[in-house]
Structure 1
């Protein structure tokens, strides 16, 4: 009883903190319903036009089709506003905003765009927005980007248009929800921990070395109940269990109490579907490597995750999760956040909706475009120094 009272006090304090973080952004002010907080409700009924420059078609698979080849979804489903979209570059003069996907752009693209910015085809009120969902370690910055872009659109909360992979949304406490309603989702979990991935890159060299050490330590225990299962191409993992797993949901993750949410880059606020979908959505506890502990405190529900930086060695981490595995009451404490928060997936993977175009449309409509800034050097914003190699 004492723990539950203390837990409620802590959670109400954390609700206010996370809510304030989510609504502080300069352009995309998000309320608890995940919608724009308008200073004044827009009276203009004309829909802004967004040009997705050059690579709009290749982005459809994730942001419109949701990796479903048989369906197309409106990017403005359940959105508070609606914009028109085009891939036709001849309409650039009529466009209110032009979106450039940095991860797709080549050096020749950058040269072309730089030339385009110097011609009469760009009007003064038009917004040029750069988009990247990748960390700075995986985003190429070309010198031609200097003085090109007005807005940033990334997973980080200090972006002009934040488009994180997921959001933590406070909710009203529901007294009808009991530990039993949580228990029914975790009682069938008979396996300890899993990781899924096929990017075996050494850019985050610590990631797979850490996984290998966990694998070796657990295998020496000769305990079938306490093992690490690897799904994917790395470290001789199971390649057949969930092929194409970034497109289709991997139902086997429902069997695990813990999930190694190890990102491919250890960068500020880089929290991906590995946390929001592979762990939280599966009622697994994420064990996080990548974003800092402070990032996690600010952006995730409290007492909902385990961070590797809290442990001196892999062996210390293993001892702790085995302890939780053997103590049900302690393990379920990592799920009590579900009384007070919802975690919303917005990345477009596994059939979830992508909110990228919705949030850009909201930002265009709700902000004064006559006071437009310019990024003199976007490398200062996408600085690799925010990452730990």
Structure 2
């Protein structure tokens, strides 16, 4: 017994000395002002409002700045678009689309030492302009990417109370809404091949069939399957095309990152992936089989019994979540390889 206690004692002392070494090293290699400032900043953020300055209105569209508490239960946030508050802001939220190619419209005021600049972007690398002056500028990333500092997917599947599955009445087999039509897109080629084997109800400006938002909801709900085809294929780039179809009671047929990537966000039996088939003809035959097999089709809705779809409230939710992140993470760093992190997407196909 005494041998066991001695071993435990040695282990405890080893852990103690290791922690003491790490703490003393931090204090030795960091100036007292650094760690005192960090502790003071952390205490200060917990006891007052966090100020987040929205530097540009995303896509030029203003949004509500006072609803973090009522919409997302995030309190103690002061969202503002008043540039006069720059020197007091804890964070500056900057949307990539509005940044000038020479960065001339970024803040030029003296930058407070503890202030964090947040790079916000929901577009894929294929649709995001590379701007040469962004390295060593930002402190945090906000993106659909799972490895962003502030992860903001386009939507999510969340737990809810158990409920009966409700499938809307169907009168169309396959539907597709599209606005961004480019012949070089993989989804355009796939659609042209698929339509040779199965009827597809198409909507949107490229087809001369623009519809209202209410009509969109009614149409998608009436479709057994919906083509949730992304305009480019990148890791984690899974947009509202998927989540809206799920929410409206249609089974999404996805084209985007791998099935494994999709299954990190939604159940594997809630969707169909084009990569599961050797060709559009194989997919068409599978859809025709499901159209004749109600039991198999209803299996795509099992997730509904205790889950529901939550759509991300872009851009307000981005700003509110930024506030929450800043309050919980007073530490500061600089992003030195933004280009490598975002644009070098090895899973691009």
Does the 8 Å contact 2:136/2:335 carry over to 1?
Answer: yes
Query: Is 2:306 aligned against 1:317?
Result: no
Distance 1:161 1:122, change over 3 A: same
Alpha-carbon offset, residue 260 of structure 1: 0.3
Distance 1:57 1:267, change over 3 A: closer
Query: Is 2:197 aligned against 1:217?
Result: yes
- What pairs with 1:153-172 in structure 2 (closer than 5 Å)? 153-171=142-160
- What pairs with 1:8-19 in structure 2 (closer than 5 Å)? none
Determine the structure 2 residue equivalent to 1:146.
135
* TM-score, normalising length: structure 1: 0.73
> Radius of gyration: which is bigger?
2
Counting matched residue pairs gives 307
1 CA distance for matches of 2:305 and 2:346?
A: 33
Distance 1:202 1:44, change over 3 A: same
Q: Secondary structure of the residue that 1:355 maps to in structure 2? A: helix
Determine the structure 2 residue equivalent to 1:365.
327
Query: Is 2:88 aligned against 1:85?
Result: no
Determine the structure 2 residue equivalent to 1:308.
274
Distance 1:216 1:75, change over 3 A: farther
Q: Secondary structure of the residue that 1:140 maps to in structure 2? A: coil
The answer for unaligned runs of 5 or more in structure 1 is: 1-39, 65-71, 219-226
Structure 1 residues 106-138: Cα deviation after superposition (integer angstroms, max 9, x where no partner): 214x1443x83xx6x111111110000101111
Does the 8 Å contact 2:235/2:348 carry over to 1?
Answer: no
Q: Secondary structure of the residue that 1:264 maps to in structure 2? A: coil
Query: Is 2:81 aligned against 1:99?
Result: no
Alpha-carbon offset, residue 238 of structure 1: 4.6
Alpha-carbon offset, residue 105 of structure 1: 1.5
* TM-score, normalising length: structure 2: 0.81
Q: Secondary structure of the residue that 1:362 maps to in structure 2? A: helix
Does the 8 Å contact 2:136/2:334 carry over to 1?
Answer: yes
1 CA distance for matches of 2:283 and 2:44?
A: 51
Query: Is 2:283 aligned against 1:294?
Result: no
Does the 8 Å contact 2:118/2:139 carry over to 1?
Answer: yes
Does the 8 Å contact 1:136/1:383 carry over to 2?
Answer: yes
Q: Secondary structure of the residue that 2:281 maps to in structure 1? A: helix
Alpha-carbon offset, residue 152 of structure 1: 0.3
**Structure 1 counterpart of 2:170, from 189, 198, 215:** 189
Determine the structure 1 residue equivalent to 2:317.
355
Does the 8 Å contact 2:68/2:74 carry over to 1?
Answer: no
Determine the structure 2 residue equivalent to 1:378.
338
Query: Is 2:203 aligned against 1:231?
Result: yes
Alpha-carbon offset, residue 382 of structure 1: 1.0
Determine the structure 2 residue equivalent to 1:46.
48
Structure 1 residues 305-362: Cα deviation after superposition (integer angstroms, max 9, x where no partner): 00111100000001111111110000000001112322211145xxxx9521221111
1 CA distance for matches of 2:226 and 2:323?
A: 35
Alpha-carbon offset, residue 292 of structure 1: 1.6
Does the 8 Å contact 2:66/2:79 carry over to 1?
Answer: no
Determine the structure 2 residue equivalent to 1:284.
250
The CA RMSD over aligned residues, in Å, is 2.5
Determine the structure 1 residue equivalent to 2:186.
206
Alpha-carbon offset, residue 202 of structure 1: 4.2
Q: Secondary structure of the residue that 1:382 maps to in structure 2? A: helix
Q: Which structure carries more relative contact order (alpha carbon 8 Å, separation 6+)?
A: 1
Alpha-carbon offset, residue 142 of structure 1: 1.2
Does the 8 Å contact 1:51/1:95 carry over to 2?
Answer: yes
The answer for unaligned runs of 5 or more in structure 2 is: 1-41
Query: Is 2:237 aligned against 1:270?
Result: yes
Does the 8 Å contact 1:135/1:270 carry over to 2?
Answer: yes
